[in-house]
Amino acid sequence: MTQMRRQSLVKFDAPLCETIIDAPKPQGREVLVRIERCGLCHSDLHIQDGYADLGGGKKLDTTRGMTLPFTLGHEIAGVVDQVGPDAPADLIGKKMAVFPWIGCGKCRDCLTGDENLCARNRFLGVSIDGGFATHVLVPDAKYLLDYDPLPTNVAATLMCSGITAYGALKRLVDRPRQRNILLIGLGGVGMMGLSLAQAMFKQPISVADLSEAAREAALKNGASFAYDPSEPDVIKRIVKETDGGFDCVVDFAGNDKSMNFAVGAVARGGKIVVSGLMGGQFSLPMVQWIYKRMTVEGFMVGTLEETKELLALARTGKIKPTPMKEEPMGDAQKWIDQLRAGKVVGRIMLTN
């Protein structure tokens, strides 16, 4: 029997600890993947906490339906170890990335290909055990994606930070007003967004982040301009320098301060896509919505088909590599703490 080591959540709002069990045997179309890389994502912190911040002292309980011990981690790439009797046997030994945003397969959203919207989802590392382990059980072989010739680290990050950034940016493509683009928040998803935006748009890409190190990294990675949202009168400067503001804005932070900044920076008739989960509350006078004639769209992760589109784009070689750092899987909690403290630029890749 294959043994499986996991960095487990055994209690909410408490450090992970290692647990060892027998690896599950795949049934039906299930597949057991031996994990080579799993990216650390900011949403892992919310799951560990057991809540998301709704602002005003209110919290959204994210523990419902979860059984402890639980394994976090959803940016997974590895090698197929075993397959169920109904899965293709020739998958064994193949290197694959794992699409983690898996639905129930039966509801209206799943049947139209929008599994990422499924209310009864089986998201890996969110609803069912994920990738902070030596192995992961994937519900169906169709969620395995061949990523050759991309590096394993790149393939893993495309499964969350990549598809989140790609999907958010895709919602700005083909808009009639598209002179310029602003990306707010330069964590792992924001830096991936910067790389993708340069491949998807001809317009100059500006960025904004409170961290000087993050702004410098973005300028080195192709950003045209970098703004510090805490700078006095920064919105006045943006409106002047851009002749009215930004037509397209993606908020990869998703808190009240980042959204206030986004609304200040967006041009009349512009669009803001909100993709961050830092939380809090945001309010705006009704006349402002109408005066600015702006659109605001919430977005989380993309579909399986969009992830295949993203892999095809990555294979063209047009996506610049984002900052990544490999660390041992056993140090998962150490790097969660570092991410929580705002001391990580780019992506931490946990390795087995």
Q: What is the pLDDT of residues 240-257, one digit of tens each?
A: 999 999 999 999 999 999
Residue-averaged pLDDT of the chain? 94
How far, in Å, CA of 148 to CA of 97, rounded?
A: 10
CB 289 within 8 A of CB 266: no
CB 282 within 8 A of CB 254: no
Backbone angles phi, psi at 214, to 5 degrees: -65, -40
pTM: 0.92
Q: Is the pLDDT of residue 65 over 80?
A: no
Q: Which of 250, 253, 257 is nearest to 295 (CA)?
A: 250
pLDDT of 277: 81
How far, in Å, CA of 35 to CA of 80, rounded?
A: 9
How far, in Å, CA of 228 to CA of 209, rounded?
A: 6
Q: Which domains does the chain have, with CATH numbers?
A: 3-160+302-351 (3.90.180.10), 172-298 (3.40.50.720)
Give pLDDT tens digits for 153-198: 999 999 999 999 999 999 999 888 889 999 999 988 899 999 999 9
**What pLDDT band is residue 296 in, cutting at 50, 70 and 90?**
very high
Helices (H), 138-187: 152-157, 163-170
Give pLDDT tens digits for 124-162: 999 999 999 999 999 999 999 999 999 999 999 999 999
**What pLDDT band is residue 329 in, cutting at 50, 70 and 90?**
very high
State mean pLDDT over 49-74: 88
Bridge-based pairing state of the strands 135-138 and 95-98? unpaired
**Sheet of 17-22, strands arranged across:** 17-22, 3-9, 70-71
Residue type, 284: L
Residue type, 224: S
Helices (H), 221-303: 234-241, 256-265, 286-292
As given in the structure block, the two tokens for residue 93 are 């030994």
- 29 DSSP 8-state letter: T
**What pLDDT band is residue 105 in, cutting at 50, 70 and 90?**
very high
Please, which residues have CB within 8 angstroms of residue 144's CB and are 6 or more apart in sequence? Answer: 31, 33, 80, 91, 94, 96, 97, 98, 99, 138
Residue type, 319: I
- Distances in Å between the Cα of 128 and the Cα atoms of 63, 93, 280 are 12, 24, 26
- CA 83 remoteness from chain centre: 28
Q: Is the pLDDT of residue 92 over 90?
A: yes
Helix (H, G, I), strand (E, B) or coil at 349: strand
Query: CA torsion 110→191→174→177, rounded to 10°?
Result: 130
pLDDT of 103: 97
pLDDT of 342: 86
